[in-house]
Amino acid sequence: MNEKKVVGEKAVEYVKDGMVVGLGTGSTAFYFITKLGELVQQGLSIKGVPTSKQTEKLASELGIPLVSFNEIEQIDLAVDGADEVDPELNLIKGGGGALLREKIIAKASKTFIVIADSHKNVDTLGFFPLPIEVVPYGFKMTMKHIRDLGSTTKLRQHQGNPFLTDNGNYIVDTSFQKIRQPKELEKNLNLIPGVVDSGLFVEMADAAITIIDKKLVTQV
Ligand code: 5RP
């Protein structure tokens, strides 16, 4: 079973005519957006708000009408993937480096649905390296302050240079091991000057469409 395709296509059932829809980033969101594109071709009328330049390109190629984030008051539904999902539906996101726009769009959405294959389900967040977006200025000092909270840090690279986000920032991949208090860690990270935001999405997801024991499950 292609789990990413199954959960991505299932999420399309939550999209209704006239909605403004937040479009996630990554290989699971790809299937959601592709299916949505098919429905748009068949007459579904929606407007999409992409969470990354990569998704903007994909949605445009599929003929999904897009709207600028600054032109809308609210997003009806956002659908996005995740790197880890815990039983309370707290998430680690940002494996693809799009965490900041993804978080802004999730926060602006009436309903935020996460789509996750079975490998993303964990008891406690933290096995997957937590990505943190930082401004380039003073990034070494910012990394030191992150380490002071008990983690290792690694500046993400792309073709021998620092990976640049769509916002022109860097990504630091960290390892906090088991993150037992994600809300507290998220707050502490955001208190560090130079940190833009982390890939911790705490109490944001309203539902998770996932696979458990080879069965499609929607958790709320
Ligand atoms: C991108 C993300 C993705 O949603 C996350 O990395 C999951 O990706 P995939 O669906 O390819 O496994 O947060 O910033």
Mutational test site, ligand 1, from 7, 83, 105, 173, max ligand atoms within 8 Å of CB = 83
Does this model's pTM top 0.90? My answer is yes
Contacts for 2-6 with beta carbons within 8 Å, 24 or more apart? 3/117, 3/118, 3/211, 4/28, 4/30, 4/31, 4/81, 4/115, 4/117, 5/31, 6/211, 6/216
pLDDT at 108: 97
pLDDT at 41: 97
pLDDT at 20: 98
ipTM above 0.95, yes or no: yes
Task: Answer yes or no: is the C-beta of 23 below 6 A from any ligand 1 atom.
Answer: no
Residue 61 corresponds to which tokens in the numbers above? 């190629």
pLDDT at 49: 98
Mutational test site, ligand 1, from 3, 7, 9, 28, max ligand atoms within 8 Å of CB = 28
Task: Answer yes or no: is the C-beta of 157 below 6 A from any ligand 1 atom.
Answer: no
What are the tens digits of pLDDT across the range 104-161?
A: 999 999 999 999 999 999 999 999 999 999 999 999 999 999 999 999 999 999 999 9
* 102 labelled catalytic: yes
pLDDT at 138: 98
pLDDT at 24: 98
pLDDT at 168: 98
What are the tens digits of pLDDT across the range 27-85?
A: 999 999 999 999 999 999 999 999 999 999 999 999 999 999 999 989 999 999 999 99
Q: Whose CA is nearest to atom 7 of ligand 1?
A: 82
